[in-house]
Chain A
Amino acid sequence: MSVEERDPLTGHKTTGHEWNGITELNTRVPRAVWWAIGITHVWALIIWILLPSWPLITTYTKGLLGVDQRELVQGEIQAGQRYRAYWEANLAAASLDEIRGEQALMDVVVASAPTLWGDNCAACHGMLGVGGPGFPNLTDDAWLWGGSDEAVLESIRVGINATHPDTRVSEMLAFGQLDVLTRDQIRAVAAYVQSLSGLANPNPEVRAEGQTIFEVNCTSCHGEDATGMNEVGAPNLTDEFWIYGGSDEAIFTSIHDGRRGWMPAWEGRLSEAQNKILALYLLDILPDAQ
């Protein structure tokens, strides 16, 4: 059908075509549309003149502003560094005690530590640093490698069983798997270990057997009194804090299969200033937060 009609409602003519009952009005394109086309095109033109935009054969139009995203990013990174420069160098140079003494620096530590901790350490140690099975609680006084400023800084810097050349190395031997101890012996010594922190009260025979086994096999690392040895990262077995757990099963597994905790080295990934912020967070801020 090809009869032009007039739409009674709008007064516009139709194009005269009809498809399955559908017709089209021949309404002119509203002026607002032409304006919008004009404005967006002018805007695009201005952007093209100002910014890198059109490809040429071997290069591209650089734009009057002469900007490039790589340089922009470099610039922003440097600006950020300049902004932090006032405290970063000071922190890196000072000892932890010196930092503790200077309120301005401690303010920086307080402000930036939670995020640094949350983004780097919380995945293993938890937001509050209390750890979980396999990951030690860092807010207590039971340190594997010592709780002095230097020891903590060093633990963070080189990691434990990590890839750093100076990494701390520690291992709980797999006494069962290596056939050093039988399963019964392990049960005995496990019971003895539990008795040290009052978790279990085995009968005297078993305890004596366990104690003998312990004195022969374990004291070299865990110490005569089983209170651990920071030099080899062996934990204190007489306190209430456990890395892997104090249940029969967990202790049996620790002794039978051995343990080899892994903590990444942070040197190269965190700056010296950041390392100090975290150490202070661990030593001063987190324990108070509990």
Chain B
Amino acid sequence: MINNLTVAERQWALVVLLVGGLIGLTMAAVGAGEPFGAHGFLVLFFCAALFFPVLSRLDEPEPSPHAGRSYYDDPIKVGIILAMVWAVIGMFFGLWVAYLLAWPDLTIDAPWASFGRLRPAHTTGVIFGFGGTALIATSFHVMQRTSRARLAGQFSPWFVLLGYQLFVLIAVSGYLMGVTQSKEYAEAEWYADLWLVVVWITYFVLYLRTLARRNEPHIYVANWYYMAFILIVAILHIFNNLALPVSWAGSRSYIVWSGVQDAMMQWWYGHNAVAFFLTAGFLGMLYYYLPKRAERPIYSYRLSILSFWGIVFFYVWAGSHHLHYTALPHWVQTLGMTFSVMLLVPSWATAANALMTLNGAWHKVRDDATLRFMMVAAIFYGLTTFEGSFLAIRGVNALSHYTDWTVAHVHAGALGWNALLIFGVVYAAVPVIWRRERMWSNRLIEWHFWLAVLGTVVYVLAMWNSGILQGLMWRTYTDAGTLQYPFIASVLAMNPYYVARAVGGTMFFVGTLIGIYNLWMTIRQAPAADMVADHPVSVRDEAGERGVPAE
């Protein structure tokens, strides 16, 4: 892989890694004995681990000049593998947390192993590690294929992919050491946040530059979704994380917002992280891989345009539904509620557009578990958005808020929509990227599919029951007008559901492990395919050199 970089790119990489290593060393020195110093060492080791392999191949010959005319898939390969590694890490923490809620003693007596630290390690590991890495890897795939253009440059894709890994590593290791801003889904401290800004802007520029090189007259809708995801996440991230560090040599900082403004900023961010990270970016995936796999045209171009602007417009107003019945003024809550309900239409229109695209391909859905992953993901997307709009109504939220109903909603989306889609997409993309005829074993894909779907259903049903039960117990009064149940009674009542959730989560996790085994065997053993056509051709090229094999 390193040999595919030009010598100039290798040199440039060495310079960047050297600077990174020096920054790490400085952090380690000034923050010695503190988590900040530990993070310095992490940065140092990360850079060194990349520096030496590049250095040892500095004198290898330049890559063949033909290579520049094929798609650049190396970072996609690494990205897919990293995403699956994060899936295991993130879900392991999720599973641990799930078992801990069912059996509270199931941990060791160490600060890092306490619930409050494991939980953000789970959420960040899965959303940003697993989801984010999958988004980056697939976006590289989609942007090249739908633009019929090679990635703009070979250095910046690596910078984005690996720089992002460093961010997630700092974040997750930080939570385990107790480093946190205490803002959900934005717990990472100021230096990690700053670093992410650099990475993210590079990502956006890379996307624009690649699109600018496209050999298609129009930009495919998937790219609109990916770009909305990158652009808006950048804005959200910057505003929500504006903070003043206590010192340049420590990991503490203070957010510039305070009180209810801070709460509003946080949930504007939090909700749109869902909207643009877990929805817009994933819709980009769906719009490419689903029609591709089904080999059917998108049901309606007009519907996709309408939904795109609907989703982008309505989502940014909806954040206040996370703050119903709080100090937030009533009028803000009303706006959040109404926009959340109006948001349902473009959401469902999108889900419908995806499912209608399968018209004429239902026999494939029956036979092909990969396509079925994507189909079920679209259904869960519809389900989750319907539920979300419902939960956003103040009266309903009065029952659901603070209960496991929210957790049910989250995982209907996170497992049923995000994770299932990623698995389907990985199964569809891996043979293409690694030039294999097919995945190693279709039986294992079937196993993975059923374990994942069953696990999700068990998880979500358990949490719906527990959430509604919890909500009802908290609001039941005796004839005398006093509360019927002490809080602890509702905690005890949750136990069977927590056990069920742990079982569902275990199934989901086992499915994931099966998927990874299959992926590994595909890379190592599946028969190679001849895919000469999978490379960019422009009208100009077509007359000249064709058939340069990708890579």
Query: Residues of B contacting A116 with CB < 8 Å?
Result: 482
A122 CA to B484 CA in the complex, in Å?
Answer: 15
Query: Residues of B contacting A14 with CB < 8 Å?
Result: 297
A29 interface neighbour in B146, B306, B331, Cβ under 8 Å? B306
Query: Residues of A contacting B221 with CB < 8 Å?
Result: 24
Please state if B342 and A40 are interface contacts (CB–CB under 8 Å). yes
Please state if A118 and B489 are interface contacts (CB–CB under 8 Å). yes
A6 CA to B488 CA in the complex, in Å?
Answer: 64
Query: Residues of B contacting A67 with CB < 8 Å?
Result: 330
27 pairs of residues in contact across A and B, judged by CB atoms under 8 Å: A17-B216, A17-B217, A17-B218, A19-B146, A20-B292, A22-B291, A24-B221, A27-B299, A27-B303, A29-B302, A30-B300, A44-B342, A51-B331, A52-B334, A54-B335, A60-B329, A69-B330, A70-B330, A80-B481, A84-B481, A84-B482, A111-B479, A112-B483, A115-B478, A118-B485, A118-B486, A122-B486
Query: Residues of A contacting B360 with CB < 8 Å?
Result: 9-10
Distance in Å: Cβ of B30 to nearest Cβ of chain A: 43
Query: Residues of A contacting B341 with CB < 8 Å?
Result: 40, 43-44
For window 103-126 of chain A, which residues contact chain B by CB distance below 8 Å?
107-108, 111-112, 114-119, 122-123
Query: Residues of B contacting A112 with CB < 8 Å?
Result: 478, 480, 482-483
- Judge whether A68 is part of the interface by a CB distance below 8 angstroms: yes
- Judge whether B359 is part of the interface by a CB distance below 8 angstroms: yes
Query: Residues of A contacting B301 with CB < 8 Å?
Result: 15, 24-27
Smallest CB gap from A116: residue in B: B482
* Chain A residues within 8 Å of B, Cβ to Cβ: 2, 7, 9-10, 14-15, 17, 19-30, 33, 36-37, 40-41, 43-44, 47-48, 51-55, 60-61, 63, 67-70, 80, 83-84, 87, 107-108, 111-112, 114-119, 122-123, 127
A28 CA to B300 CA in the complex, in Å?
Answer: 7
A40 CA to B297 CA in the complex, in Å?
Answer: 29
Please state if B300 and A37 are interface contacts (CB–CB under 8 Å). no
Please state if B333 and A69 are interface contacts (CB–CB under 8 Å). yes
Interface flags for B131-166 (1: CB within 8 Å of A; 0: not) read: 000000000000001101000000000000000000
B303 interface neighbour in A29, A43, A44, Cβ under 8 Å? A29
A53 CA to B221 CA in the complex, in Å?
Answer: 34
A123 CA to B337 CA in the complex, in Å?
Answer: 38
Query: Residues of B contacting A19 with CB < 8 Å?
Result: 145-146, 148, 216, 218, 220
Distance in Å: Cβ of A277 to nearest Cβ of chain B: 9
Please state if A83 and B481 are interface contacts (CB–CB under 8 Å). yes
**Minimum-distance CB pairs A-B, first 5:** A118-B486, A112-B482, A27-B300, A24-B301, A44-B338
Please state if B220 and A28 are interface contacts (CB–CB under 8 Å). no
Please state if B334 and A53 are interface contacts (CB–CB under 8 Å). yes
**Are A111 and B329 also in contact (CB < 8 A) when A26-B302, A122-B488 are?**
no
- Judge whether B288 is part of the interface by a CB distance below 8 angstroms: yes
Query: Residues of A contacting B188 with CB < 8 Å?
Result: none
Please state if B342 and A20 are interface contacts (CB–CB under 8 Å). no
Query: Residues of A contacting B148 with CB < 8 Å?
Result: 19-20
Please state if A69 and B146 are interface contacts (CB–CB under 8 Å). no
A40 CA to B303 CA in the complex, in Å?
Answer: 17
Please state if A33 and B303 are interface contacts (CB–CB under 8 Å). yes
Smallest CB gap from A37: residue in B: B345
Please state if B481 and A23 are interface contacts (CB–CB under 8 Å). no
A118 CA to B490 CA in the complex, in Å?
Answer: 11
Please state if B302 and A28 are interface contacts (CB–CB under 8 Å). yes
Query: Residues of B contacting A52 with CB < 8 Å?
Result: 329-331, 334
Please state if B480 and A108 are interface contacts (CB–CB under 8 Å). yes
- Judge whether B349 is part of the interface by a CB distance below 8 angstroms: yes
- Judge whether B204 is part of the interface by a CB distance below 8 angstroms: no
Given A17-B217, A60-B331, 9 other A-B contacts at CB below 8 A? A2-B217, A27-B299, A27-B300, A28-B302, A51-B331, A69-B325, A70-B330, A111-B480, A123-B488
A61 CA to B331 CA in the complex, in Å?
Answer: 8
Smallest CB gap from B291: residue in A: A22
- Judge whether B344 is part of the interface by a CB distance below 8 angstroms: yes
Please state if A20 and B334 are interface contacts (CB–CB under 8 Å). no
Smallest CB gap from B290: residue in A: A22
Smallest CB gap from B478: residue in A: A111
A38 CA to B292 CA in the complex, in Å?
Answer: 33
- Judge whether B304 is part of the interface by a CB distance below 8 angstroms: yes
Smallest CB gap from B360: residue in A: A9
- Judge whether B115 is part of the interface by a CB distance below 8 angstroms: no
Distance in Å: Cβ of B334 to nearest Cβ of chain A: 4
A26 CA to B480 CA in the complex, in Å?
Answer: 63
A111 interface neighbour in B295, B482, B487, Cβ under 8 Å? B482
B297 interface neighbour in A22, A36, A70, Cβ under 8 Å? A22
Smallest CB gap from B216: residue in A: A19
A36 CA to B347 CA in the complex, in Å?
Answer: 12
